[in-house]
Amino acid sequence: MADPIEVRKVAIESVTDASGLERLIDDGVIEADRVLAVIGKTEGNGGVNDYTRILADRAFREVLIAKGTRTPEEVAQVPLVWSGGTDGVLSPHATIFASLDPAAVEPSDEPRVSVGVAMSEVILPEDIGRPAMVEKVAAGVREAMKIAGIEDPADVHYVQTKTPLLTLATINDAKSRGQDVVIEDTGPSMDISNSTTALGIAVALGEIEMPRADQIHKDLSLYSSVASCSSGVELDRAQIVVVGNVRGVGGRYRIGHSVMKDALDADGIWEAIRGSGIELPERPHPSDLGDRLVNVFMKCEADPSGRVRGRRNIMLDDSDVHWHRQIKATVGGVAASVTGDPAVFVSVAAVHQGPSGGGPVAAIADLG
Binding-site residue ranges for substrate:
53, 83-84, 194, 230-231, 328, 347-348
Strands of the chain, DSSP E:
5-11, 35-42, 80-84, 93-99, 111-122, 156-164, 227-232, 237-247, 253-260, 293-300, 307-308, 311-312, 345-348, 359-366
d(CA 91, CA 89): 6
d(CA 176, CA 149): 42
CA distances from 11 to 101, 108, 147, 243, 289 (A): 26, 30, 29, 21, 19
d(CA 238, CA 139): 11
Number of Cβ within 10 Å of residue 47's Cβ equals 15
**Is 162 among the residues known to form the active site?**
yes
* Binding-site residues: 53, 83-84, 194, 230-231, 301, 328, 347-348, 350, 353-355, 358
Contact of 295 with 95, CB cutoff 8 Å: yes
CA distances from 346 to 77, 135, 290, 317 (A): 24, 26, 21, 22
How, if at all, do strands 93-99 and 5-11 pair? antiparallel
Residue 338: φ, ψ to 5°: -75, -50
Q: Which of 193, 230, 258, 276 is catalytic?
A: 230
* Binding-site residues for Mg(2+): 301, 350, 353-355, 358
Single out the residue of 137, 142, 146 nearest to residue 200, CA to CA: 137
Single out the residue of 99, 134, 303 nearest to residue 209, CA to CA: 134
Q: Which of 99, 162, 189, 258 is catalytic?
A: 162
Single out the residue of 199, 240, 239, 238 nearest to residue 217, CA to CA: 199
DSSP 34: G
Residues acting as catalytic residues: 162, 230
